[in-house]
């Protein structure tokens, strides 16, 4: 009987091989199992390259000098081969890079801007701002704040912070295609003696609308309303004089304010909540103040009972000293609620201007900037959106496949509104429009020259593998399919038909391989080689 015994964790530690061997032994297929979860038949499995989440980090594997291996080392080699089917390269002492990415970086894609598709064009409307868009019940639905003509605007102040608390109402519009919008007569609110208008609620300042399929039918739609707290609930300190209440509706037209305060804090301006299916909780993102305007966060299992929000994102050392995080614009990626996104408006106090960044989260609790540069820039000076702009939920997909995020914008800078208040007609304009990207193109992995990476293993289901990518005229992309690090015969780089050009979605092909049927149900890795190219996403179709 052999004297060899199964290798223990202590043996590995004593052998000094922890860094290169333990991840292989103990991590197993956990990451691949998570990425390879099956979808329903007919669905597409999508991998977006907005961060490094789908990219293998690689490793430096030990290579051995056979002349220096001790007797104990030879015993270990036999044990690895027998118990773990693991062999070691014996080409010489050192390390060999395996699947280590190189020559690549994440680069976000600048949004293009549509023309305004919603303006204050009704007799009762002075301005139209703060939209929430949902693709809901087969159409695009938009709730927005309409400042009302002839209605006095009452303001409240707290430590130099101003918030409008009257003179506006929640209004409603809808569209079949996201481009052509109507403002239906809802018959809910009375304005100057008539209900022939699209106004639906006086109580939705400071919040957005979300659909809650988790809650009861009579509360299918929910949101926040900023208002003065009852004295018995206000507590001590000026910051608690105003706060947020909850509003709900069965249909998006008829709204009811709940009298119980939800957030006892001066959370003015576009607070956003939603039911997070992945977490099994309501998650809210709020206005906060920590050395300037800040984004805070809270979570709860009961929408009508929230803990105090805690700061999440605020200006740091890599920001300019005069920058505030103004609004948060929390949303999820269409069809993938596990990918949480924020498009915060960054207010620059030194120029009184506002632009928009992108941050991402895979767990809903920790957000990372894709870039500190704006993903949505102001229009040129003098244009309708050349002064300030603010992104709002939700990111939706238009019928032509483009990604669209609503934003409201002004030809005036943030504080120019005071000129209109003092001068009367200041010739200010505003509207609501789309920030637009081609399908799946929020950001991508880019190689300016040569680069390569390998995707984490995932179960292949479908008939095709497609890439969304763009190359220069001299650039190209090659793809190799691998099984546990080794090229699958017939699907190597040498067999690949290179891709080039502007490819919103293009099929990966290999010479002599008409079908991928033999790969279905198996874990596969995609090794992707880039030359002067940018890849935005991959999908199994």
Alpha-carbon distances of 212 from 222, 223, 248, 300, 367, rounded to whole Å? 7, 10, 10, 14, 23
Model confidence at 55: pLDDT above 50: yes
The enclosing H or E element of 433 equals: strand 430-437
Mean pLDDT, rounded, for 44-69: 95
* Residues forming beta bridges with residue 107, ordered by sequence position: 444
pTM of the model: 0.89
- Quick one: 283 and 134 in the same domain? yes
Neighbouring CB atoms inside 10 A of 497's CB total 12
**Contact status, residue 169 vs residue 203, Cβ threshold 8 Å:** no
Q: Cβ distance 267 to 246 under 8 Å?
A: no
Distance CA 382, CA 273 (A): 34
68 and 215 in a single domain? The answer is no
Return the CA Rg of the chain.
28
pLDDT classification of 1: cutoffs 50, 70, 90: very low
Helix spans in 320-388 (H): none
Q: Are residues 433 and 451 in the same domain?
A: no
Length of the chain: 541
Side-chain half-sphere CA neighbours of 345 within 13 A:
27
Rounded to 5°, angle at Cα 414 from 411 and 420 = 70
Domain count, the chain: 3
Residues 470 and 329 in one domain: no
pLDDT, tens digit, 9 for 90 and up, residues 149-192: 876 555 555 555 554 545 789 999 999 999 999 999 999 999 99
| In a shared domain, residues 272 and 349 | yes
- Verify that 11 and 119 share a domain, yes or no: no
Joined together, the tokens standing for residue 378 give: 């102001």
Q: Tell whether 226 and 249 lie within a shared domain.
A: yes
- Sheet of 281-289, strand order: 272-276, 281-289, 293-300, 310-313
Distance CA 267, CA 270 (A): 8
Residue 13: pLDDT band with limits 50, 70, 90:
very low
Q: Which of 27-31, 173-177, 328-332 has the lowest mean pLDDT?
A: 27-31
In a domain, 103, yes or no: no
In whole angstroms, give the CA distance from residue 270 to residue 220: 20
Query: Is it the case that residue 234 has pLDDT exceeding 70?
Result: no
Q: Hey, what are 155's tokens?
A: 């303001």
Assign 19 a pLDDT band (cuts: 50, 70, 90): very low
Give me the percent of the chain exceeding a pLDDT of 70.
88
Instruction: Take residue 393 and report the two structure tokens written for it.
Output: 């939920």
Show which of 390, 409, 437 is a domain's final residue: 437
Which are the contacts of 532, defined by CB distance < 8 A and separation ≥ 6?
447, 448, 449, 471, 472, 474, 475, 476
- Would 49 be classed as within a structural domain? no
Give the separation between CA 301 and CA 425, rounded to whole angstroms: 47
β-bridge mates for residue 359, sequence order: 342, 369
Considering the domain boundaries, does residue 36 fall inside one? no
Identify the bridge partners of residue 391 per DSSP, sorted by sequence position.
Answer: 407
Residue 204 shares a structural domain with residue 83: no
Q: pLDDT grade, residue 281 (50/70/90)?
A: very high
Task: Tell me how far apart the alpha carbons of residues 298 and 276 are, in angstroms, rounded to a whole number.
Answer: 12
| Three-state DSSP state, 515 | coil
Average pLDDT of the segment spanning 227-241 = 67
Neighbours of 251 (CB within 10 A): 12
Examine residue 9 and state whether it is found in any structural domain, yes or no.
yes
> Residue 382 sits in a domain of what CATH number?
2.115.10.20
How far CA 343 is from CA of 110, 168, 330, 331, in Å, comes to 13, 25, 7, 8
Same domain, 361 and 456: no
User: In the predicted model, is pLDDT for residue 36 greater than 50?
Assistant: no
> Would 130 be classed as within a structural domain?
yes
| Amino acid 154: pLDDT | 57
Asked whether residue 397 falls in the same domain as residue 497, the answer is no
For the segment 316-322, the average pLDDT, to the nearest whole number, is: 94
Q: What is the mean pLDDT of the chain?
A: 89
Tracing tokens 């804090």 back to the chain, one arrives at 265
Predicted confidence (pLDDT) at residue 487 exceeds the cutoff of 80:
yes
Sign of the alpha-carbon dihedral angle for 363, 365, 368, 372: positive
Tokens matching residue 69? 């291996």
Tell me which residue range forms the domain holding 479: 443-540
Band the pLDDT of 5: cuts 50, 70, 90. very low
d(CA 437, CA 428): 28
What one-character DSSP code corresponds to residue 102? Answer: B
Is the pLDDT at 478 greater than 90, yes or no? yes
Please work out, in degrees rounded to the nearest 5, the angle formed at the alpha carbon of residue 132 by the alpha carbons of 128 and 136: 130
One domain for residues 411 and 262 = yes
Cis peptide before 394 (omega within 30 of 0): yes
In a domain, 86, yes or no: yes
Instruction: Tell me whether residue 44 is in a domain.
Output: no
Q: Residue 518 — left, alpha, or beta (φ > 0 → left; ψ -120 to 50 → alpha)?
A: alpha
Q: What are phi and psi of 60, to 5 degrees?
A: -105, 110
Q: 74, 98, 122 — which closes off a domain?
A: 98
Within 149-265, strands assigned E span 155-158, 161-164, 168-175, 181-182, 199-201, 209-211, 221-228, 242-249, 256-263
* Other Cβ atoms within 10 Å of 17 Cβ, number: 17
Q: Tell whether 366 is covered by a domain.
A: yes
- The stretch 428-438 carries a mean pLDDT of 95
CATH number of the CATH domain containing 493: 2.60.290
User: How far is 498 from 476, CA to CA, in rounded Å?
Assistant: 6
Q: What percent of the chain has pLDDT over 90?
A: 78
Q: Is the dihedral of CA 366, 354, 394, 502 positive or negative?
A: negative
The two structure tokens encoding residue 527: 């090794």
Same domain, 485 and 392: no
Q: What is the mean pLDDT of residues 407-428?
A: 85
Given 402, 437, 472, the domain boundary residue is 437
DSSP code per residue over 10-72: HHHHHHT-HHHHHIIIIITTHHHHHHTPPPPTTPPEEEE-SSSTTB---EEEEE--GGG--HH
Q: Could you say which DSSP state residue 55 is in?
A: B
Q: Is the pLDDT of residue 113 over 70?
A: yes
**Burial of 102 from C-beta contacts in 10 A (0-12 / 13-18 / 19+):** exposed
């Amino acid at each position: 009987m052999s004297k060899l015994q199964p290798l223990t964790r202590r043996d590995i530690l004593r052998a000094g091989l922890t860094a290169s061997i333990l991840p292989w032994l103990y991590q197993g297929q956990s990451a691949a199992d998570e990425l390879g979860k099956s979808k329903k038949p007919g669905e597409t499995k999508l991998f977006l390259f907005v961060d490094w989440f789908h990219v293998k980090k690689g490793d430096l594997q030990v290579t051995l000098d056979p002349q220096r291996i001790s007797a104990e080392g030879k015993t270990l080699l036999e044990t690895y081969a027998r118990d773990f089917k693991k062999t070691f390269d014996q080409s010489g002492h050192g390390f060999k890079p395996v699947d280590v990415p190189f020559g690549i970086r994440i680069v976000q894609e600048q949004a293009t801007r549509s023309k305004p598709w919603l303006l204050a064009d009704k007799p009762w409307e002075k301005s139209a701002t703060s939209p929430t868009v949902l693709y809901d019940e087969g159409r695009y639905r938009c709730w927005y704040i309409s400042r009302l003509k002839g209605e006095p605007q009452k303001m409240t102040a707290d430590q130099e912070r101003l918030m409008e608390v009257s003179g506006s109402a929640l209004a409603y519009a809808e569209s079949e295609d996201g481009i052509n919008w109507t403002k239906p007569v809802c018959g809910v609110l009375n304005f100057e003696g008539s209900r022939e208008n699209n106004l639906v609620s006086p109580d939705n300042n400071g919040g957005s609308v979300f659909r809650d399929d988790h809650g009861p039918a009579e509360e299918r739609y929910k949101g926040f309303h900023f208002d003065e707290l009852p004295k018995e609930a206000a507590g001590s300190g000026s910051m608690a004089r105003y706060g947020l209440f909850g509003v709900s509706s069965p249909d998006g037209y008829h709204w009811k304010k709940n009298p119980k305060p939800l957030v006892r804090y001066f959370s003015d301006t576009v607070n956003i909540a939603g039911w997070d299916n992945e977490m099994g909780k309501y998650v809210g993102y709020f206005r906060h103040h920590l050395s300037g305007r800040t984004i805070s966060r809270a979570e709860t299992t009961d929408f009508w009972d929230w803990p105090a929000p805690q700061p999440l994102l605020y200006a740091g050392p890599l920001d300019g000293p005069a920058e505030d995080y103004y609004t948060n614009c929390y949303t999820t990626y269409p069809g993938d609620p596990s990918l949480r996104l924020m498009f915060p408006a960054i207010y620059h106090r030194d120029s009184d201007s506002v632009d928009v960044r992108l941050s991402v989260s895979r767990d809903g609790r920790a957000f990372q900037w894709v870039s500190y540069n704006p993903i949505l820039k102001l229009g040129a000076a003098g244009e309708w959106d050349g002064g300030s702009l603010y992104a709002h939920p939700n990111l939706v997909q238009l019928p032509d496949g483009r990604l669209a995020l609503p934003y409201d914008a002004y030809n005036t800078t943030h504080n120019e509104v005071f000129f209109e208040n003092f001068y009367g007609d200041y010739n200010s304009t505003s509207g609501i429009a789309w920030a637009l990207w081609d399908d799946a193109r929020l950001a991508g992995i880019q190689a300016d020259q040569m680069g390569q990476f390998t995707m984490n293993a995932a179960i292949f289901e479908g008939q095709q593998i497609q890439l969304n990518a763009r190359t220069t005229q001299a650039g190209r992309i090659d793809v190799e399919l691998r099984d546990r690090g080794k090229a699958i015969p017939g699907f190597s780089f040498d067999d690949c038909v290179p891709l080039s050009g502007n490819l919103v979605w293009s099929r990966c092909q290999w010479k002599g391989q008409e079908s991928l049927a033999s790969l279905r149900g198996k874990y596969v890795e995609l090794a992707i080689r880039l030359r002067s190219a940018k890849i935005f996403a991959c999908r199994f179709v």
